[in-house]
Structure 1
Amino acid sequence: MPRLTLIVPAYNVQGYVRECLDSVLQQDFTDFEVVAVDDCSPDGSGAILDEYAERDPRVRVLHLTENVGLGHARNAGIELATGDYLLFLDSDDTLTPGSLSGIAGRLDATDDPDILVHDYARSFWDGRLLPNRRADLLGGAEPAVFPLSERPALLDLPQVVWNKAYRRDFVEAHGFRFPSGSYEDVPWTYTALVTAESIALLDRICVLHRQRREGGKALGTVSRKHFDVFDQYERVFTYLDEHPEFESWRPALFRRMVDHYLTVLEKPGHLPKNARAEFFHRAAADYNRRLPEGFERPGGARGYKYAMLGKDSYPALTGVTRANQVRTRARARNTRHIGRAKRAAMRMIYQSQLRLPLDENLAVFSAYWGRGYACNPAAIDAELARLAPHIRRVWTVRAEHVSRMPKGVEVAVVGSREYWTALARGTYFINNVNFADSLIKREGQIHLQTHHGTPLKTMGLDQADYPASTNMDMADLLRRCDRWDYSITSNRHSTTVWERVYPCSYTSLETGYPRNDVLVNAGAGEVARARRELGAADGSKVFLYTPTHREYQKEFSPRIDLAKLAEELGPDVTLLVRGHYFYKPTGKLAELQASGRVIDVSAHPCVEELYLAADAMITDYSSAMFDYANLDRPIVIFADDWETYKVVRGSYFDLMAEPPGAVATSQAQLTDILRSDEWRSEESAVLRAAFRKRFCDFDDGRAAERIVRTVFLNEEDVLPVVPLAARKPAPSPAQALELVERV
């Protein structure tokens, strides 16, 4: 029998649950079990739990067949628990190092109390840690074990279960279980505390409780779910009615109830405006029904609010909070001043168009900060034209890139009258980066964030840990991300990363990347044409070199001596070089291209055509490898500066340990790999297969169709993803040539 059982319910936490479980399984104390409860989560949380259970026998997973909510999910975990003590850990929270040793040691030292209360801190998305404001209640406890009557101030701690350890036989003896609804911790916490005969304290922060941004948790959003608090306090006082031996706690719990009701009522972002008066009247009814005989109201403004509840006078209560409202309005005025300053710089046309209704059949596209027609947005544009031709499609493009736009595509030059009109009137907004800060999202507008790669390097909030990689203001970044309604992903790895590093209230669409559809759907003719348009001879080998951007490299200077490599590989090899779009063109590649040794394809409008044309890819840390892997063609990693790169930018996994193919750390080694058959060896194929299994989850050739049907046509029946083993990618160049010649 383990000493501790940690019950971890999981629902829509695939971006956080790995960090949670890692914080548990890496503890120095090991005498515990984890009962992870998949509350019929629609995301990948359940699969992640199973993955951990396969690796560690201390983890057991219970998959519920229907969503029952946090409280009943915890109850299901209690039924499976075998430990001496129960700990409840939210699946987006983490344990601090050594916390389980501290808890177990304190339990031993206090002779197994009914409840052990430990400290915690709130962890914010921007890296701040906010200590428990009543941490003073956990220090200097003499005697070491006591009933609540000796430390009644413990009732002033938040009504949560995750800052305590409960002896399991104590829980079972009294039949404690969590109720339905929000605020489910309230009846459990109060009834357990007043019932416990022995309580001990641990003055140590054991849990980092994640404070997600607005919209991240149900009780952090405007909702009628807050009305559940009335049912929960009904359960508390019913318990007192059924247990007269605890009657002395009625005044203290009444005060806690009233304070809780006032907090819900007064805290911004909780109740809908049209529900505030209703909530107040419900609270007033509870106040008068449960007012203990002889109860003394607190003094000051707080006591006045108690009195207004007693009189059921909502207008009088709103007058009490007028000072706070004045301060709130002052802050709002400051925000409006900033907003007006920004709007003053906008075109008058935008201001006038914002007053007009949305065009329900207008979709606004952009890619790579207005650089042209490319990537996932371009693939969605093409599919939208096929499935929903009634929707007008407008691309916002910077003036210097207009010449790159395909014929027939409607263009709105950034800053023009057409641009501001489209931003004001469009219903759908599709981009692989964020739209400009000047865009004001109107009610009814739908933003689809397509992203433009699978993350190997750190992104979003994680970049804050690597300051050399960015000077981005994270708060500004997340305000832009708050506009997203949908975020598309091509694999579960991306889903979990995006949801954690962009913690906003969008819906993840695990559809695959539309830009990769062609890598599955292209036929022999398209592959052969891509080769010939590049000038590559039939039968030659074409290697596509796709180095990524480096923050410590100001301009694109290939880390490979391309001329030397081309010479050593011989005349039957063509090198295509695709510089990162962050870098401006230099004369170095032009000189090499003039010599006929390499082809600079940095400005090629469609990278997917380059993928089709290449026999293999040479890359370093570029996300291009994840897309190219869909073709099931060889990939060679040239990683001469991996140690520097991962220190400066950070990475989500060790590419050297889990590469998609052969790895070279010097040019001599790269040359040997390419001159031999190592680049396409069986060993490389095995590595590639593992890589594809992990990162090619959803790219089955129908991603664009899924997105159009889901987002634009509001269809509910999503096309099922074709399993990886059943997919047939576009033919290799050799296969394509053979098929074309047959025709």
Structure 2
Amino acid sequence: MPEGLNPQLASNGISEQRVKPLITVVIPAYNYAASVARSAQSILGQRDDRTELLIIDDGSTDATPEVINALHLGYPEQFRSIRRKNGGLASVRNLGIREATADWLVFLDADDEFVQGALAKLLEHIQSNAHSRLVIGEHISVSEEGRRRRHTIGQIPETGFERVKAYLIDKTLGLSNGACAMHRDVFAPGGYPEQFRNSEDLPVFAQTLARYPVSTLAEPLLLLYKHGDSLRHHVGHGQAVGTQVVDEVFSRLPAEMQSLREDFYAQRCLSLFRSAYLAKDYEAAKRYYSAALRHDWRLLFKTSYTRKAVRIWLGKT
């Protein structure tokens, strides 16, 4: 994990923490002036002394600093904030881990919000499940049109191997930042890889599922807002990371899980294919689909992907 603090930090907020909280909620914010107040207020409206809120402004160039300052005026000494030179989401999360007072962390995106009343349920769950090191909660996705869909939790496999397989390969175990709480112990194998601007959570979630006890909270914790205009941005960073994330993930996993590597490589290529297809970057989509087939020809039987690939090669997109 990166050491030391960025020398160009500026911080505001609580001058002295009197009681060690149980959870620190970290909100990374880069140019989220339009939504960071909503995100922060979803925590401030239900927190008590067991919860610390930390907002990290990652060098925003919009009005995010002014919005955070206004929040300080409206909620004096109720949260801390840090402003720093832009370094990317992974480095912000690593800074949040170092700066957090609590042993449990929740990373809440600045355009999402916590469900009203969910914080108390999460605190109660943590206190009742002392063995757990990862709490997986439910979330509600909100479309641009305002439609809501609740995402429930299925059966969580008991062994680390099966959990990692379900997460990386089978895609039957989905994790969302903001709907998960992580004990700081899970970052011992490594923090968020700062060389990545996308998919930085994959290695951390994988190492956690592989090595640490997991519990589930069958309650919606997060309102996750979908944004159509973020797709091309996501695809650009995703292609920059490419398949490098495969090496990063498996460098953190035990020897007995290395047998999953080839399957994950193929799955990663399919994921990049799908993102490129949706963004209408058909040349990139061809490359990723071809790479996936080279690693596992059986992917031809995944008809939803094969149909899209055929449309590209026939020029019917």
TM-score tier after normalising by the smaller chain length: 0.7 to 0.9
TM-superposed CA distance for 1:51, in Å, is 2.4
TM-superposed CA distance for 1:158, in Å, is 3.0
1:93 maps to 2:112: yes
TM-superposed CA distance for 1:277, in Å, is 3.5
Kindly provide the CA deviation profile for residues 119-149 of structure 1, in whole angstroms up to 9, marking residues without a partner as x: 11211121111222x63236xx9xxxx6535
1:57 maps to 2:77: yes
Contact 2:114 2:178 in 1 (8 A): no
Contact 2:108 2:178 in 1 (8 A): yes
1:228 to 227, 241, 245: 241
Cα distance change, pair 123–252 in 1 and its aligned pair in 2 (3 A): farther
1:183 maps to 2:199: yes
1:158 to 171, 174, 178: 174
Task: Return the letter of the residue paired with 2:301.
Answer: A
SS of corresponding position for 1:9: strand
1:137 to 141, 151, 155: 155
CA distance in 1 between counterparts of 2:71 and 2:91 reads 23
After TM superposition, the structure 1 = structure 2 runs for residues 124-523 of structure 1, keeping only pairs within 5 Å, are: 124-132=143-151, 135-137=153-155, 147-149=159-161, 154-155=166-167, 156-158=172-174, 160-168=176-184, 170-179=185-194, 180-196=196-212, 198-215=213-230, 218-219=233-234, 223=236, 225-240=238-253, 246-252=254-260, 254-267=262-275, 268-270=277-279, 272-280=281-289, 287=295, 301-302=301-302, 321-322=309-310
Cα distance change, pair 300–264 in 1 and its aligned pair in 2 (3 A): closer
SS of corresponding position for 1:22: helix
CA distance in 1 between counterparts of 2:219 and 2:187 reads 27
CA RMSD across the alignment: 3.2
Kindly provide the CA deviation profile for residues 192-233 of structure 1, in whole angstroms up to 9, marking residues without a partner as x: 21121x1111111101111012347721xx536424131222
Cα distance change, pair 203–39 in 1 and its aligned pair in 2 (3 A): same
SS of corresponding position for 2:59: coil
Task: Return the letter of the residue paired with 2:282.
Answer: K
1:80 to 99, 104, 126: 99
SS of corresponding position for 2:132: coil
**Which runs of no fewer than 5 residues in structure 2 stay unpaired?**
1-19
Task: Return the letter of the residue paired with 2:243.
Answer: F
Contact 1:120 1:208 in 2 (8 A): yes
Contact 1:160 1:185 in 2 (8 A): no
Contact 1:137 1:153 in 2 (8 A): no
Contact 2:138 2:153 in 1 (8 A): yes
Cα distance change, pair 299–172 in 1 and its aligned pair in 2 (3 A): closer
SS of corresponding position for 1:223: helix
After TM superposition, the structure 1 = structure 2 runs for residues 571-650 of structure 1, keeping only pairs within 5 Å, are: none
TM-superposed CA distance for 1:76, in Å, is 1.4
TM-superposed CA distance for 1:258, in Å, is 2.2
CA distance in 2 between counterparts of 1:319 and 1:92 reads 34
Contact 1:148 1:154 in 2 (8 A): no
Considering only CA atoms, is the larger Rg found in Structure 1 or Structure 2? Answer: 1
TM-score by length of 2: 0.79
1:47 maps to 2:66: yes
Contact 1:123 1:129 in 2 (8 A): yes
Q: How many residues in Structure 1 have an aligned counterpart in Structure 2?
A: 291
Cα distance change, pair 216–16 in 1 and its aligned pair in 2 (3 A): farther
Contact 1:12 1:45 in 2 (8 A): yes
Contact 1:35 1:60 in 2 (8 A): yes
Contact 2:199 2:238 in 1 (8 A): no
Task: Return the letter of the residue paired with 1:14.
Answer: A
1:345 aligns with none
Kindly provide the CA deviation profile for residues 422-458 of structure 1, in whole angstroms up to 9, marking residues without a partner as x: xxxxxxxxxxxxxxxxxxxxxxxxxxxxxxxxxxxxx
CA distance in 2 between counterparts of 1:27 and 1:205 reads 15
CA distance in 1 between counterparts of 2:161 and 2:251 reads 20
Kindly provide the CA deviation profile for residues 711-741 of structure 1, in whole angstroms up to 9, marking residues without a partner as x: xxxxxxxxxxxxxxxxxxxxxxxxxxxxxxx
**Bigger Cα displacement from structure 2, 31-40 vs 223-232:** 223-232
SS of corresponding position for 2:188: helix
**Which runs of no fewer than 5 residues in structure 1 stay unpaired?**
241-245, 289-296, 306-316, 333-743
1:68 aligns with 87
Cα distance change, pair 120–154 in 1 and its aligned pair in 2 (3 A): farther
1:18 aligns with 37
CA distance in 2 between counterparts of 1:61 and 1:10 reads 10
2:4 aligns with none
CA distance in 2 between counterparts of 1:131 and 1:229 reads 30
SS of corresponding position for 1:322: helix
Contact 2:24 2:105 in 1 (8 A): yes
CA distance in 2 between counterparts of 1:247 and 1:33 reads 37
TM-superposed CA distance for 1:260, in Å, is 3.3
TM-superposed CA distance for 1:93, in Å, is 0.5
TM-superposed CA distance for 1:28, in Å, is 5.6
**Bigger Cα displacement from structure 2, 226-235 vs 201-210:** 226-235
TM-superposed CA distance for 1:274, in Å, is 3.2
SS of corresponding position for 1:35: strand
Percent of aligned positions that are identical: 20
CA distance in 1 between counterparts of 2:299 and 2:232 reads 34
Cα distance change, pair 298–111 in 1 and its aligned pair in 2 (3 A): farther
SS of corresponding position for 1:126: coil
SS of corresponding position for 2:251: helix
TM-superposed CA distance for 1:281, in Å, is 5.4
Cα distance change, pair 276–207 in 1 and its aligned pair in 2 (3 A): same
SS of corresponding position for 1:135: coil
SS of corresponding position for 1:137: coil
